[in-house]
Chain A
Amino acid sequence: MKVVLQNLTKKFPGRGKNKTDEVIAVNDFTFEIPDGKLIGLLGPSGCGKSTCLNLICGLLRPTSGKIYFGEDDVTDLPPESRGVGMVFQNYALYPHLTVKQNIMFPLENLKGDKKMTKQAMEAKALEAAKLVQIDMLMDRKPGELSGGQQQRVAIARALVKTPRVLLLDEPLSNLDARLRLQTREEIRRIQTETGVTTIFVTHDQEEAMSISDLIFVMKLGVLQQIGMPQDVYDDPVNLFVAKFLGTPPINVFAGRVKGQKLYIDDLPLIDVPGVKDQEVWAGIRPEGFILDEQGPLVCRFGAVEVMGRDISVVSYHDACQSPTVRSIIDADNHVLPLEGKVRFSVKPHKVHIFNKETEERIRF
C-alpha cells in the first residue's frame, strides 16, 4: 500500500498568555512512499518526525493537508479505520495480559462481519508470534520478557490484524547496542517477509541508513532530503544533511574558493570548476583524508585511536567548526607527526562545499 502525503501540516498552539509562539511540527510535507518499502524518518529530536508518524497513524489530526493510503483518502478517518499497525517507543504492552492476550487484543476488537472465532484468533496470534519468533513465550507476562522480546511482541501485536501500513516509533531506542544490531536486521526480515509498507522513526542515522530502502531527513518540521541511504550520504543537499549523516560526522571547515580552487590553508585543496570566488563551508568526510607529508591541509596532531580495522586520527585545526578534526584511515598506515603537525590531502569526491549563508550545497 503506497502512502501519499499532500501538503501535510501540523501546528501546535503556543503556550502562555499570548499564544503567539505557535509550533509548526510538520511543515508542508508532500511525498510518496512506494508500496512495500521500508522507510526511515530521520532527524534530530524535536524535528517533528514522531508527529509525522502520529499523523499517518491517525492519533493526531493534521492542521491542513491530505493523507492517502493507496487511492483512499484517510485524512479524516480515526486510527482504527485506517488499517495501521503501530509499535510504540516503549512498546505499550498491557502488563496485566499475557503475550498471547496482548497479541489477540486487536483481534478481539473486531466487530460485525469481521468478528472472528476464538480458534481463528488464536491461530492468527500464533502465526504472528511465529513470524517474530516468540511462539514459545505465549503464556508469559510482558514483565517477564527481555527488552528485545517485548519489542517482538509489540511488532506481533501490530502485525496480527494484517495492517496496510506498519509504523514504528523509535523501535530500537530501548535496546542495548548488540540487541539493536540484531533487532534491526529482524525488522528488515519481518518487513521483507510480510511485504508491508513500513515507516519507522529514528534519530539514529546509522539505524536508518542500515535497513531503510529510502530515508527522509527532517529538520525543525521541514523535510530536507529524500533518497536511498547511500545517495543521501554521498550527495547531501545542504550542510545539515551532510552533518547529520555519518559517524564520525563530517568535518566542516571555513574555507574559500579562489580561481576555481578550494582553499582552507594556503595551499589549494581541490579543484572546484565553475564555482565563483566566495567564502564557503567545506565539509570533508572522515574517510576522505589521505595521510600525505606534502598534503595541503595542515593540522596539529592530537591522538591516534585504534579501532582495529581502521585507525582514527584526531587532530586540531583552527578553521574547523568542531574542536577536533576526525579522519579515518586504513590501519596499515603509520602516523608520524612531524613537529606536532600532521598533513593530509583529500579525495575530491568526499569533499562537499556549501554556501556560507544559506548552507545550501554548491555543486561542482
Chain B
Amino acid sequence: MDYKNNKAWLYLLPAIIFLGCFMVYPLIDVFVYSFEEGYNSASQTSFGLGGYNYSYVLHDPYFMQAVKNTFLLVVITVPLSTGLALLISVGLSSIDKLKNLFQTIYFLPYVTNTLAVGLVFMILFKKTPYSDGLMNALIKFFGGTAVDFIDGPYWAKMLVLCLYTIWIVMPFKILLLTSALASVREDYYNAAKVDGTSRWRTFYKITLPMISPTIFYLVITGFIGAFKVYSDAVALFGTNLNASEMNTIVGYIYDMLYGDSGGYPSYASAAAIILFVIVLTITCINMLVSEKHVHY
C-alpha cells in the first residue's frame, strides 16, 4: 500500500513541482508583499509589515474607478452574455438547415485575436477628424447626434467596452450551451409533448434544469473572467487607462507593477489580494445559490 502511494506521488511530482514554483509560491509571495510597507524590489528591503498598502490602494481614486468599472462590467456582461448565448443556442438547436454554417459564424470571434477585434471596434465606434465611424453614421442616419464612443463621455465608453466583452465571450458560451442542449435526450421532449406541455414550460421545467450544470459553469467562469478583464480595455482605449477613466482592477495592478513611475509591487500585491477576496466571495455566493437550482 505504501509502495503504491509512493508511486502515485512520483507520478504527481512533475505537476506538483511546476504548480508549486509558478503558482503556490507566487501566491504566497504576493500575500507577503501586500503587507510589506515600502518594499523596494531593487534592494529587496522594506520598512516592515503593516496594512498601509491596503489603505493606500483603497484610498486611491484610480483604484476606486477601476473597481467601479470592473463591477459595472461584471454586472452587465455576465447576465447579458449568458442570456444571449442561451437564446442563440436554443435558436441554433431548433433549426435544421444551415445549422453548421451559423455555428461556425457564431464561433468565429473565439478564434479571432483580441486586438484585431479591438481594431474593428475602433473603426465602428471611433470618431476622427476625417470620419465619425460607422456607428455614428448610423446614429446620424436616424436623426441623432454623433457621440465619440472612444474618447467621449463615460457611459459611451462603458457601453462599447460592455459590447466588446459580450461579443468576445459569447462564442465559447454558445459552443458549450449548444452541446449541452444537444445532449438532452429527445425522449424527455416527446414525453412532455404527449403530456401537452407548453413550449415555455418545457423549456423552463425540462430544458433549463437539464442544462443547469453548464449554465452554472458558464456563470462562474463568466464572473471570474469578467473580474479579470484587462486586454479588452487596452484594445479599445490604449494603455493609458487611468487617463480615459476606463481602467479595470487587473489594469490597475498591471499599472502598479510596470507603470511609468517605476513600479510599486506592494500596492499591486495589495490590489491583487483585494481582487482575489472579491472573486472568492462572489464565487462562494454563486455556489450557495446554485445548490438549489443546479441539477446534476
* B201 & A109 in contact (Cβ 8 Å cutoff): yes
Report B52 CB to chain A, min CB distance, Å. Answer: 51
The A-contacting residues of B in range 147-203, CB under 8 angstroms, are 185, 187-188, 190-191, 193-198, 201
Bound Cα distance A98, B167 (Å)? 39
Mask of A253-282 contacts with B, CB within 8 angstroms, 1/0:
000000000000000000000000000000
Q: Please indicate which of the listed interface residues B195, B197, B295 has the most CB atoms of chain A within 10 Å of its own CB.
A: B195
Is A90 on the interface with B (CB-CB < 8 A)? yes
Is A94 on the interface with B (CB-CB < 8 A)? yes
Chain A: interface size category:
20 to 34
What total count of A-B pairs have CB within 8 Å? 55
- Inter-chain contacts of B191 with A (CB < 8 A): 86, 88, 92
CB closest residue in chain B, given A90? B187
Known A-B contacts: A59-B190, A59-B193. Give 7 more (CB < 8 A): A80-B195, A80-B197, A81-B196, A90-B185, A94-B209, A95-B295, A105-B205
Is A58 on the interface with B (CB-CB < 8 A)? yes
Set A94, A95, A106: member contacting B196, Cβ < 8 A? A106
| A90-B187, A109-B201 known; A96-B210 Cβ under 8 A | yes
The A-contacting residues of B in range 101-158, CB under 8 angstroms, are none
Is A85 on the interface with B (CB-CB < 8 A)? yes
* B201 & A80 in contact (Cβ 8 Å cutoff): no
- Inter-chain contacts of B205 with A (CB < 8 A): 94, 105
CB closest residue in chain A, given B293? A96
Majority secondary structure of chain A interface residues (helix, strand, loop or mixed): loop
| A96-B209, A109-B201 known; A88-B196 Cβ under 8 A | no
- Inter-chain contacts of B198 with A (CB < 8 A): 109
Bound Cα distance A88, B74 (Å)? 44
Is B289 on the interface with A (CB-CB < 8 A)? no
Report B205 CB to chain A, min CB distance, Å. Answer: 8
CB closest residue in chain A, given B196? A80
Majority secondary structure of chain B interface residues (helix, strand, loop or mixed): helix
* B194 & A58 in contact (Cβ 8 Å cutoff): yes
Bound Cα distance A94, B197 (Å)? 13
Bound Cα distance A89, B186 (Å)? 12
Set B185, B187, B193, B210: member contacting A80, Cβ < 8 A? B193
- B residues adjacent to A (C-beta < 8 A): 185, 187-188, 190-191, 193-198, 201, 205-206, 209-210, 212, 295
Bound Cα distance A85, B194 (Å)? 7
The B-contacting residues of A in range 82-120, CB under 8 angstroms, are 84-86, 88-90, 92, 94-96, 105-106, 109-110
- A residues adjacent to B (C-beta < 8 A): 57-59, 78-81, 84-86, 88-90, 92, 94-96, 105-106, 109-110, 157, 161
* A80 & B194 in contact (Cβ 8 Å cutoff): yes
Set B185, B196, B197: member contacting A92, Cβ < 8 A? B185
Q: Please indicate which of the listed interface residues A85, A88, A92 has the most CB atoms of chain B within 10 Å of its own CB.
A: A92
* A92 & B193 in contact (Cβ 8 Å cutoff): no
- Inter-chain contacts of B209 with A (CB < 8 A): 94, 96
Bound Cα distance A85, B193 (Å)? 11
* A109 & B197 in contact (Cβ 8 Å cutoff): yes
CB closest residue in chain B, given A85? B194
- Inter-chain contacts of A161 with B (CB < 8 A): 195
CB closest residue in chain B, given A58? B194
CB closest residue in chain A, given B209? A96
Set A90, A95, A96, A106: member contacting B195, Cβ < 8 A? A106
Bound Cα distance A11, B191 (Å)? 23
- Inter-chain contacts of A79 with B (CB < 8 A): 193-194, 196
Bound Cα distance A94, B212 (Å)? 14
Bound Cα distance A217, B193 (Å)? 28
CB closest residue in chain A, given B185? A92
CB closest residue in chain A, given B206? A94
The 9 tightest CB contacts between A and B, nearest first, are A80-B196, A96-B295, A92-B187, A106-B195, A92-B191, A96-B209, A79-B194, A86-B194, A109-B196
Bound Cα distance A90, B191 (Å)? 11
Report A312 CB to chain B, min CB distance, Å. Answer: 39
* B195 & A105 in contact (Cβ 8 Å cutoff): yes
Report A278 CB to chain B, min CB distance, Å. Answer: 50
- Inter-chain contacts of B195 with A (CB < 8 A): 80, 105-106, 109, 157, 161
Report A234 CB to chain B, min CB distance, Å. Answer: 37
CB closest residue in chain A, given B294? A96
Bound Cα distance A1, B209 (Å)? 37
Bound Cα distance A80, B192 (Å)? 9
